[in-house]
Amino acid sequence: MLLIIKGHKNIGYKLSDDSLKRCQKAIEIIEKNNIKKVIISGGIFNSEQIIPVSESMRSYIINHFENELSIVIENTSRTTIQNIENIIQKFSLKPNKEQIIFTTSWYHIIRCQLIWKFRGFKVKTVSAKAKFSLQKIFVEIVGIVIVFLYFWGIKFPEMYFRKKYRTV
C-alpha cells in the first residue's frame, strides 16, 4: 500500500496550517494502515517559501516515527496537475497495480480525484481538515474547470496561473 500526500505551501520553513493538517492526517493513515511507503509531492509555490513544501512535510512526518519509514519526495510541482503527473512519471506508477491512498485537504479532493481518474487510476482519497474559505471553494471550482479543459486537450501557459518561482 502506498500513501501519497499532496503538499500545500510553506511560509519560510514553517508549514502552512493546511500542510500541517495534511501531515497529521498522513500520520494517522500511516499508523492505522501500517504503511511503509510514502510519497510527498510539492515544490515551491510562492516567494515566501525557502524550501519545497515536500521537504518540510517529510521532516515533520519523520519526526513522528521511530521505525524505518520510506518517504520519497517529488519537489518540482507547482500545480495540482503537475503533482499527480510528476508522481506517476517519476515513480513509474501504473493504473491499478498498487493500492494507493491519496490525502489532501477536504476542499481539494474532487479536483485530485478527477486527475487520477483521467489518468486511469482508482485511488482512495482521504481528506484532511482545513478551515472553510469561500476563496478556497472558488479556486477549486476554477481548478476543476481547468482540469476538464486540460484533459480535453486545451493547455494553458503556466504564466496565466502562477508566477514562475525557482524549483529545486
- Structural domain boundaries in the chain: 2-160
Q: Distance (Å, rounded) from C-alpha 154 to C-alpha 33?
A: 39
Distances (CA, A) of 100 to 84, 87, 106: 12, 12, 17
| Sequential pLDDT tens for the chain (168 residues) | 889 988 887 878 888 899 999 999 999 999 999 898 999 998 887 777 788 889 999 999 998 886 678 899 999 888 899 999 999 999 999 998 889 999 999 999 999 999 999 999 999 999 999 999 999 999 999 999 989 998 888 876 554 444 444 444
**Contact yes or no for 109/127 (Cβ under 8 A):** yes
Q: What is the pLDDT of residue 67?
A: 66
- State residue 97 phi and psi, 5-degree precision: -90, -25
Q: How far apart are CA 137 and CA 142, in angstroms?
A: 9
> What does the longest C-alpha to C-alpha distance in the chain come to?
46
Q: Residue 103's pLDDT is what?
A: 94
Closest listed residue to residue 82, CA positions, set 42, 35, 132: 42
CATH topology of domain 2-160: Rossmann fold (3.40.50)
pLDDT reported for residue 10: 81
Query: For residue 124, which of 105, 109, 140 has the smallest C-alpha distance?
Result: 109
